[in-house]
Amino acid sequence: MKNWLLSLWNPGNAPTDDGMIFGGASHGFSASGVWSDPQYAGAVFTPQRFPGEVVTGSFTGVLGQLRQLPFVPRAAVVLFSGGTGAEDFLRQWSGLFPAVPVAGGAVARGPAQARGDLLPAAEDVAVLLLTGGSWRTETLNVHEVIGSAWQFMADGPRTVTHLRRGTEKEWQTAASVFRALQAGYGRDSRDCESITWSDLSGRNLHCAFAGEYLQSGANLPADGQLLLRTVSRAAAAERLSAFCAKPKALVFGCAGLRSLLAAPFATGAETVAGFMFGEIITLGGQPQFGNLMASRLVCA
């Protein structure tokens, strides 16, 4: 058992590994009295250490180690080196630790990186298993639902090919639908953050244009239904700032959500906030991988 410092850093600026640091790359970060743009060459550390164990490696290897764990953690921070495979890992995690609060996400990557940096270094995933304190997880969705559900057709787990509203007969290519919605709600054609989609449970999906299709940053829902959501930049900033104002919290938000901010904001005392390329959220008591949202671990 060790006492770990948690660190976040912009890509390419990992601190020296002393065997007592757990963390990953972030697309900018914030802490009490600290605000970092993604271009800043630096790192931030939690003011306190966390007693616990760290497990790192491939998805298969880490899950194997977790099955042999001789204790039940009080909470966990899970960081992924890439943006795929998180959903299956979290599904199996929930089977092992159904009541354990968890937060984290896929760490940020630099322009030339296929995978983001983790400490300790890991192929797929690094898990900090907290053994002290009493923790809870809380989730924020700043976007509001517009209208009723849309149906979609998919090609694989993350590609939306066609959309139609409700039970309309005619399908349209996903990109053409989204471009029309952007224009209709006064959004720039490059804005895929203040207007987006979610599943019916409230898990947001960041969808980028891929020809005539849309490519999601997280797996699509199995029921074939999506909700359109929007938020103003002012409302996004206000809601995210309030969420990060909680003292003694570990906050993991989405890098896309950060792009909506026009100015820095302050976190609560002893709170550290990072911005991931996909984050772990909790809905209905289950950890899930989503986009354009934020979650926090709070020590009671």
pLDDT single digits (tens) 219-239: 999 999 999 999 999 999 999
84 shares its domain with 29: yes
- Residues 50, 162, single domain; the answer is no
What's the total number of domains in the chain?
Answer: 2
Please tell me whether residues 74 and 86 are part of one structural domain: yes
User: End of a domain among 205, 230, 255?
Assistant: 230
91 and 240 both lie in a single domain: yes
Burial group, residue 263, by CB count within 10 angstroms (0-12, 13-18, 19+)? exposed
169 and 262 fall within a common domain: no
Check whether residue 83 and residue 183 sit in a common domain. Answer: no
Looking at the fold, whether 163 and 86 belong to one and the same domain comes out as no
| pLDDT at res. 80 | 98
Asked whether the predicted pLDDT for residue 103 surpasses 80, the reply is yes
Q: What confidence tier does 241 reach under pLDDT thresholds 50, 70, 90?
A: very high
200 and 162 within one domain: yes
- Residue 126 sits in the same domain as residue 243: yes
pLDDT digits (tens, 9 = 90+) for 12-70: 999 999 999 999 999 999 998 889 999 889 899 999 999 999 999 999 999 999 999 99
Which of the four pLDDT bands, split at 50, 70 and 90, describes residue 112? confident
Rounded CA gap, 29 and 35, in Å? Answer: 6
- Which one of 184, 205, 230 terminates a domain? 230
Domain around 203: 144-230
- Whether residue 11 sits in one domain with residue 102: yes
Across the chain, mean pLDDT equals: 96
**111 shares a domain with 167:** no
Handedness of CA 193, 197, 202, 204 (dihedral sign): negative
pLDDT of residue 262: 87
pTM: 0.97
Q: pLDDT per residue over 153-204, tens digit each?
A: 999 999 999 999 987 889 999 999 999 999 999 999 999 999 999 999 999 9
Whether residues 85 and 217 share a domain: the answer is no
Q: Where among 230, 259, 284 does a domain terminate?
A: 230
